[in-house]
């Protein structure tokens, strides 16, 4: 079967059925492909092997796609989008001319990861978060790693996200980053690597859950036959993680979700997670500090709060300690935190561990604290603060991706091969003016996965954002948000930059007992 040929227009629109039989798998290998739309190119393709055969874990989905007409696929896509609209599953793009509130673009074709690959991912992410939590405990404690010169002192202490106020404060279980969303990519060789870590207020888990619900409705038979690990327990696992942060001193801690408000781009997620956890959704104005304790205003009076799952950036959580012009936070919150009367998750100051310059040292951090090599490697990174590396970056802007150290969401970056000469020249001036604010990485052909584009199945570049919880123990959710660069040829997957998402099916290891699964 030639992978450069894709899916025919057929008229079969029967309800989804199971495709787990050997006969169906044989048919999948023999179906004629008459439309030359699927052209993976140089990148590793999630569905097609290099020789053009369908990868074994994709056979069920591939078979189902070949039995649906373009009209049937389009109908299912419209139903999915209508479902997202009715549920209010949206995000905000600031600066948009027409409207800032949009439905997140969602593709109906799932991305599939076999059990052995997921095992490596799970072990690698657990190792990584263990080391990063130890790093945070150290730099806000004795700073031994800085004295030993493993990570440059000025790089850490001079980072915008470093919070001196956190120095020598007690953090339960030394779990600074309670929710982490690391971004993984698969390179041309098919191996996964970590592109960046998100330890501040990582978002996207609500889309992972919503995509799963949509996929089960879109391909119910195929989903049942594929033996996919469940993600629906994430809210329970998150709540248990948050409560474990206060369990040493309160038997049944009161957890709240703190949001900046309805105008925040991820407000839907804040409300969604609060509802699923059964936790109150609050803004700073709904809380009050009295005698270094935090209380929530309710219709029956004040109720004490023990754990705040904050979705507000460090700068805005307390105007008495951080930004004085903030109207989003709670005056006195940090004093209550310092006194040990409330827990803030993630802890303030965790952002220094996902600083894009500190990222370059994570393999050294893992080796320093754990005595192990990193299971999941980093992408080669050039620190523009170093004169020799800056010279290399300036000489190769047409080949590199350049990122601002403190930026996120796809902003403040240059994709050299796709940029104009004028854009590269402007970025070169910015690099020379403030080299410490930038890092650069090689342009990597992210792996591609099948997507429904204008009625046809075509490859689009994807990354992977699994979610890791850290409290009394570390748990990796058996699923992830797959982000998609929906524009042809684009490598930028952020929703704010025209990207979308799709469900991720992590398959069950056939040798693993079902009751052992989280």
For 485: left if phi > 0, alpha if psi spans -120 to 50, otherwise beta; the answer is beta
Contacts of 351 (CB under 8 A, 6+ apart): 159, 161, 199, 200, 314
* Boundaries of every domain in the chain: 382-442
- Between strands 500-506 and 106-113, the pairing is parallel
User: CA 303 from chain center: how many Å?
Assistant: 33
Token pair for 391: 């010279």
Q: What is the dihedral of CA 346, 352, 357, 361, to 10 degrees?
A: -80
pLDDT digits (tens), the chain, 518 positions: 444 434 333 333 334 433 333 333 333 333 333 344 577 678 999 999 988 899 999 999 999 999 998 899 999 998 888 878 777 776 655 554 544 566 778 899 999 999 999 999 999 999 999 999 999 999 999 999 999 999 999 999 999 899 999 999 999 999 999 999 999 999 889 999 999 999 998 989 999 999 999 889 889 999 999 999 999 999 999 999 999 999 888 888 999 999 999 988 889 899 999 999 999 999 999 999 999 999 999 999 999 999 999 999 999 999 999 999 999 999 999 999 999 999 999 999 999 999 999 999 999 999 999 999 999 999 999 999 999 999 999 999 999 999 988 666 556 688 888 889 999 999 999 999 999 999 999 988 899 999 998 888 999 999 999 999 999 999 999 999 999 998 888 887 876 666 889 999 999 987 665 444 44
The CATH code that applies to domain 382-442 is 3.30.1490.270
Q: Where are the beta strands (DSSP E) in 248-399?
A: 255-258, 281-282, 287-290, 293-298, 301-304, 307-310, 343-345, 382-383
Place of tokens 């524009």: 487
The span from the CA of 72 to the CA of 13, in Å, is 6
Q: Residue 473 CB: number of other CB atoms within 10 A? A: 12
Contacts of 365 (CB under 8 A, 6+ apart): 131, 132, 135, 145, 150, 151
Which residue intervals of 31-165 are DSSP H helices? 59-66, 70-87, 115-139, 144-147, 153-157
Q: CA-based Rg of the chain, rounded to a whole angstrom?
A: 24
* Structural contact between residues 477 and 234, judged by C-beta atoms closer than 8 angstroms: yes
Which residue from 1, 187, 7 is spatially nearest to 109, judged by alpha carbons? 7
Predicted TM-score (pTM) above 0.75: yes
Q: Residue 131 CB: number of other CB atoms within 10 A? A: 22
């Amino acid at each position: 079967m030639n992978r450069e040929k894709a899916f025919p227009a057929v008229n079969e629109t029967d309800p989804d059925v199971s495709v787990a039989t050997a006969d169906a798998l044989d048919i999948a290998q023999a179906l004629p492909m008459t439309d030359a739309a699927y052209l993976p190119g140089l990148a590793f393709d999630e569905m097609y092997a290099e020789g053009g055969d369908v990868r074994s874990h994709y056979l069920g989905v591939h078979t189902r796609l070949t039995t649906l007409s373009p009209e049937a696929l389009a109908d299912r896509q419209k139903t999915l989008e209508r479902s997202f609209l009715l549920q209010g599953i949206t995000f905000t793009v600031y600066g948009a001319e027409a409207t800032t509130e949009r439905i997140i673009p969602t593709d109906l074709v799932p991305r599939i990861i076999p059990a052995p690959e997921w095992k490596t991912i799970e072990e690698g992410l657990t190792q990584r978060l263990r080391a990063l939590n130890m790093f945070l405990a150290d730099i806000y404690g004795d700073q031994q790693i800085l004295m030993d010169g493993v990570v440059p002192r000025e790089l850490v202490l001079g980072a915008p996200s470093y919070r001196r106020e956190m120095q020598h404060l007690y953090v339960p279980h030394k779990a600074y980053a309670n929710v982490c969303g690391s971004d993984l990519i698969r390179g041309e060789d098919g191996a996964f690597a970590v592109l960046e870590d998100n330890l501040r207020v990582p978002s996207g888990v609500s889309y992972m859950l919503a995509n799963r619900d949509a996929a089960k409705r879109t391909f119910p038979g195929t989903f049942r036959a594929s033996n996919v690990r469940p993600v629906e327990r994430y809210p329970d696992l998150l709540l248990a993680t948050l409560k474990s942060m206060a369990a040493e001193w309160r038997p049944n801690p009161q957890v709240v979700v703190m949001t900046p408000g309805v105008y925040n781009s991820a407000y839907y997620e804040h409300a969604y997670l609060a509802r699923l956890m059964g936790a109150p959704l609050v803004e700073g104005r709904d809380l009050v500090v009295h005698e270094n304790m935090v209380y929530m205003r309710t219709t029956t009076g004040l109720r004490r709060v023990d754990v705040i799952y904050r979705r507000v950036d460090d700068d805005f959580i307390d105007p008495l300690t951080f930004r004085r012009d903030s109207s989003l936070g709670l005056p006195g919150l940090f004093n209550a935190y310092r006194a040990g009367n409330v827990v803030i998750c993630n802890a303030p100051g965790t952002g220094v561990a996902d600083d894009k310059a500190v990222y370059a040292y994570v393999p050294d951090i893992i080796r320093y604290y754990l005595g192990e090599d990193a299971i999941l490697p980093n992408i080669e990174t050039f620190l523009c603060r170093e004169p020799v590396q800056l010279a290399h970056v300036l000489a190769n802007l047409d080949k590199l991706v350049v990122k601002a150290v403190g930026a996120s969401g796809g902003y403040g970056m240059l994709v050299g091969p796709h940029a104009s000469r004028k854009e590269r020249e402007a970025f070169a001036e910015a690099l020379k003016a403030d080299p410490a604010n930038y890092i650069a990485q090689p342009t990597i052909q992210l792996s591609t996965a099948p997507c429904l584009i204008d009625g046809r199945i075509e490859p689009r570049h994807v990354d992977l954002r699994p979610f890791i919880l850290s409290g009394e123990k570390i748990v990796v959710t058996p699923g992830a948000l797959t982000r998609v660069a929906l524009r042809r040829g684009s490598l930028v997957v952020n929703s704010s930059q025209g990207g979308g998402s799709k469900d991720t099916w992590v398959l069950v290891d056939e040798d693993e007992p079902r009751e052992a699964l989280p």
